[in-house]
Chains A and B, each alone.
Chain A
Amino acid sequence: MTTPSAPVLEIRDLSVSFPTETGTVSAVDGVSLDLAPGEIVGMVGESGCGKSVTAMSIAGLLPGSARITGSVRLDGAELVGARESALRRVRGQEIAYIFQEPMTSLNPVLTVGRQIGEVLQVHERMSRRAARARAVELLTLVGIPSAAQRVDTYPHQLSGGMRQRVMIAMAVACGPKVLVADEPTTALDVTVQAGILQVLRDLRDRLGTSILIITHDLGVIADIADRVVVMYAGRVVERAPVDDLFARPRHRYTAGLLSASPQPGRHAGTDRLTEIPGLVPVLSTQPDACTFADRCPAADATCRDAAPPLEGIGGTDHVAACWHPCSTAPQEATR
């Protein structure tokens, strides 16, 4: 997807920090990201890298204690610092979310039809009857068989995969421009995951929804994303089209992640997984240095003295924040 059309979502220099009992924790530091119409961007990183905080800050879902700077624009309209009433119109109608655990996001005492209908009654001012009919259509859209019957079931009567489909139906009820999916398949089995990823792809193809999918699973990224953003310790360390990222990772952290996961055909008898030594740092303030330096095999004094800028490589849309990026030779030899 290299459509030159204006991005529907523009995140610029977004930083988020939280005051805690033991001082400030910087969760996100200077994240910039564009989402084009109909594009699926995958955001990958390990726990604590700031990917979920970034996602939540887009539509102002973070608690009031969060200190947010920078800019998030939806079709040019600024969302950071926008009034709560304005954000409420954006949520659901323009930007919708689905989360990891569908059971905790659904109301156990309402039928799924009522829950989907509620969204339509509130945002679209539909009558109850029209909302119910639309709910059946939406359930069909997300691949729920015999939707006309399922619309009257309660969440506990559905499997985990079906619940996640209901969540997706609810999220797309008002035809949002942007769908933020935070680990949407992490709680699901692989055979169910494959179906959910297919639904997300269908939504993009049929409705043109832009999707930001957040995951720690490189297989999911390889399966669904057009472009990938790799986060580490609150910063974007690499951003590239999906094929480019997997074939030619430039940042040492990305390369480490790729070779840390077992590849098909590899066995412990003949092969070893590459480990990334050390731990993800918890930062009170973001240092003017590469945050990966302490775990990086290529780090030197430069890396500890200045934060590497997110720079393009040869005029492409592949950027990495690294003073000593990996060579551009394909990674086949090391993987």
Chain B
Amino acid sequence: MTPQPNALEIEDLVMHFGPVRAVDGVSLTIPRGRVTALVGESGSGKSTVGRCVVRLVEPTAGTVRIAGTDVTHLSRRRLRPHRGAVSIVFQDPAGSLDPRMLVGDIVAEPLRLAGKRISRRDRDARVAPQLERVGLRAEVARRYPHELSGGQRQRVSIARALISEPMLLIADEPTSALDVSVQASVLNLLADLQRDIGFACLFITHDLSAVEYLADDIAVMYLGQLVEQGSRERIFARPAHPYTQALLSAAPVADPVRQRERQPVLLGDDLPSALDPPSGCRFRTRCPLAFDRCATEVPARTAIGDGMAACHLVRPDGTGPDVRTADPSEVLS
């Protein structure tokens, strides 16, 4: 038996939009059936990685392999047979569903685009179970998107994404536009579907509580580059990179007693521009622990278990200072 290729392999992915260096050397592997969260703040380039993977944009450099096939520079025509292997769900379901199409046509569209000529009856027979799988009644197929609530629309997006039985689902902030109670149902749905169907998932988000709930592995992105990767358990228990530590400390927990004891690491509001990223470590301009070497030398990736952290202060054994407790003057002396 030949070893099964990974669902997704990204190597040294670079995506520049003119002078904007949105993604600058990202490598990421998702084995089949695993959920990897790509975490970062706005402008970190996390959505651009997702758009490169589904080839909404053609990467400037690097390689994207889906189920072992290099799709980085395939033409539209040559890409078509591989389109079914990867799907995407976007943040805003109102903007990603054509308002003039019936829900049934929207959900079936990937089949049409795959060039399969199927009868209306066959199509309806395939759409109905998809809708049921995402918790919608089959009658919804005859409705228009505007007749549905935000949560229902996101379920339609998920049904559309899964009809081609993809090996990989890109979920780009799938719950960020939804209310808390609706978020819960969409997160539950994604968790259930992932467990039952077993697709791999690149879960792009800034919401750390959703990450902890859904992800197996976590990759943290800052200004176009990955700064840390690791299992969910390790990242939440022992984050190694100062940025990951700051991010975890800044997200408030919904518990006033615990929240009062926590001290967020304040980073300053001025994010550097992706037009002219800082030399050396890109996080150094906001890092409370930055020292001379950070400005001159790009930090190497130190392996930590199956993951890594790119910081000069992380020692070869994967340990290092914690900005949440460390006194900067002591770290550097």
Where the two chains meet, the residues of A that have a C-beta atom closer than 8 Å to any C-beta of B are 46-47, 145, 159-162, 165, 189-195, 197-198, 216-223, 225, 242-243, 246-247, 256-258, 260-268, 271-276, 279
Of the stretches B21-29, B124-132, B251-259, the one at the interface is: B251-259
Which of these, B253, B267, B270, contacts A219 with CB under 8 Å?
B253
Name the distance in Å between A36's Cβ and chain B's nearest Cβ.
18
In the complex, 30 of the A-B residue pairs with CB atoms within 8 angstroms, ordered by the A residue number, are A46-B181, A46-B182, A160-B269, A161-B270, A190-B208, A190-B250, A190-B251, A191-B265, A191-B267, A193-B252, A194-B249, A194-B250, A194-B252, A195-B268, A198-B264, A216-B179, A218-B254, A222-B253, A223-B256, A242-B256, A261-B180, A262-B213, A263-B209, A264-B209, A265-B236, A268-B187, A268-B214, A272-B191, A273-B188, A273-B213
Name the distance in Å between A236's Cβ and chain B's nearest Cβ.
18
Name the distance in Å between A188's Cβ and chain B's nearest Cβ.
8
Closest residue on chain B to residue A196 by CB atoms: B269
Knowing that A190-B41, A220-B252, A266-B212 touch, tell me 15 more A-B residue pairs with CB under 8 angstroms.
A159-B269, A191-B267, A194-B252, A194-B265, A198-B264, A218-B254, A258-B254, A260-B180, A262-B184, A262-B210, A263-B253, A265-B212, A267-B212, A268-B187, A272-B191
Closest residue on chain A to residue B262 by CB atoms: A223
The complex places the Cα of A243 from the Cα of B256 at a distance, in Å, of 6
The complex places the Cα of A197 from the Cα of B183 at a distance, in Å, of 24
Complex contact B269–A257 (CB within 8 A): no
Complex contact B188–A47 (CB within 8 A): no
Q: If A161-B269, A190-B208, A223-B259 touch, does A261 touch B250 (CB 8 Å cutoff)?
A: no
Q: B96 near A: Cβ within 8 Å?
A: no
Where the two chains meet, the residues of B that have a C-beta atom closer than 8 Å to any C-beta of A are 41-42, 149, 179-185, 187-188, 191, 194-195, 206, 208-210, 212-214, 232, 236, 246-247, 249-257, 259, 264-271, 286
Name the distance in Å between B192's Cβ and chain A's nearest Cβ.
8
Which residues on the B side are within 8 Å of A243 (C-beta)?
Answer: 256-257
Q: If A190-B41, A223-B252, A256-B181 touch, does A162 touch B212 (CB 8 Å cutoff)?
A: no
Complex contact A189–B206 (CB within 8 A): yes
The complex places the Cα of A189 from the Cα of B40 at a distance, in Å, of 9
Complex contact B266–A198 (CB within 8 A): yes
Which residues on the A side are within 8 Å of B149 (C-beta)?
Answer: 279
Which residues on the B side are within 8 Å of A46 (C-beta)?
Answer: 179-182
Q: If A162-B270, A191-B267, A194-B266 touch, does A275 touch B255 (CB 8 Å cutoff)?
A: no
Complex contact B191–A268 (CB within 8 A): yes
Which residues on the A side are within 8 Å of B191 (C-beta)?
Answer: 268, 272
Which of these, A160, A246, A268, A273, contacts B256 with CB under 8 Å?
A246
Which of these, A159, A246, A261, A271, contacts B271 with CB under 8 Å?
A159
Complex contact A268–B213 (CB within 8 A): yes
Closest residue on chain B to residue A187 by CB atoms: B42
The complex places the Cα of A273 from the Cα of B188 at a distance, in Å, of 6
Name the distance in Å between B285's Cβ and chain A's nearest Cβ.
12
The complex places the Cα of A161 from the Cα of B43 at a distance, in Å, of 14
Complex contact A191–B247 (CB within 8 A): yes
Closest residue on chain B to residue A223 by CB atoms: B252
Q: If A189-B42, A261-B209 touch, does A195 touch B266 (CB 8 Å cutoff)?
A: yes
Complex contact A222–B254 (CB within 8 A): yes
Which residues on the B side are within 8 Å of A263 (C-beta)?
Answer: 209, 253-254
The complex places the Cα of A264 from the Cα of B208 at a distance, in Å, of 9
Which residues on the A side are within 8 Å of B213 (C-beta)?
Answer: 262, 266-268, 271, 273
Which residues on the A side are within 8 Å of B180 (C-beta)?
Answer: 46, 216, 218, 257, 260-261
Name the distance in Å between B37's Cβ and chain A's nearest Cβ.
12
Q: If A194-B250, A275-B188 touch, does A260 touch B183 (CB 8 Å cutoff)?
A: yes
Name the distance in Å between A48's Cβ and chain B's nearest Cβ.
9
Complex contact B209–A262 (CB within 8 A): yes
Which residues on the B side are within 8 Å of A246 (C-beta)?
Answer: 254-257
Which residues on the B side are within 8 Å of A225 (C-beta)?
Answer: 256
Q: If A268-B187, A272-B188 touch, does A159 touch B270 (CB 8 Å cutoff)?
A: yes
Q: Pick from B256, B257, B259 the residue with the most CB of A within 10 Å.
A: B256
Name the distance in Å between A52's Cβ and chain B's nearest Cβ.
14
Complex contact A190–B247 (CB within 8 A): yes
Which residues on the A side are within 8 Å of B254 (C-beta)?
Answer: 218-219, 221-222, 246, 258, 261, 263
Name the distance in Å between A256's Cβ and chain B's nearest Cβ.
6
Q: Pick from A191, A194, A258, A279 the residue with the most CB of B within 10 Å.
A: A191
The complex places the Cα of A271 from the Cα of B195 at a distance, in Å, of 13
Closest residue on chain A to residue B208 by CB atoms: A190
Which residues on the A side are within 8 Å of B251 (C-beta)?
Answer: 190, 219
Name the distance in Å between A170's Cβ and chain B's nearest Cβ.
17
Which of these, B184, B236, B252, contacts A273 with CB under 8 Å?
B184
The complex places the Cα of A272 from the Cα of B252 at a distance, in Å, of 21
The complex places the Cα of A159 from the Cα of B212 at a distance, in Å, of 28
Complex contact A222–B256 (CB within 8 A): yes
The complex places the Cα of A264 from the Cα of B210 at a distance, in Å, of 10
Which residues on the A side are within 8 Å of B208 (C-beta)?
Answer: 190
Which of these, B253, B269, B286, contacts A162 with CB under 8 Å?
B269
The 9 closest A-B pairs by CB, nearest first: A161-B269, A219-B252, A268-B191, A189-B41, A260-B184, A276-B181, A46-B179, A218-B254, A194-B264
The complex places the Cα of A29 from the Cα of B285 at a distance, in Å, of 49
Which residues on the A side are within 8 Å of B41 (C-beta)?
Answer: 189-192
The complex places the Cα of A212 from the Cα of B92 at a distance, in Å, of 29
Complex contact B253–A264 (CB within 8 A): yes
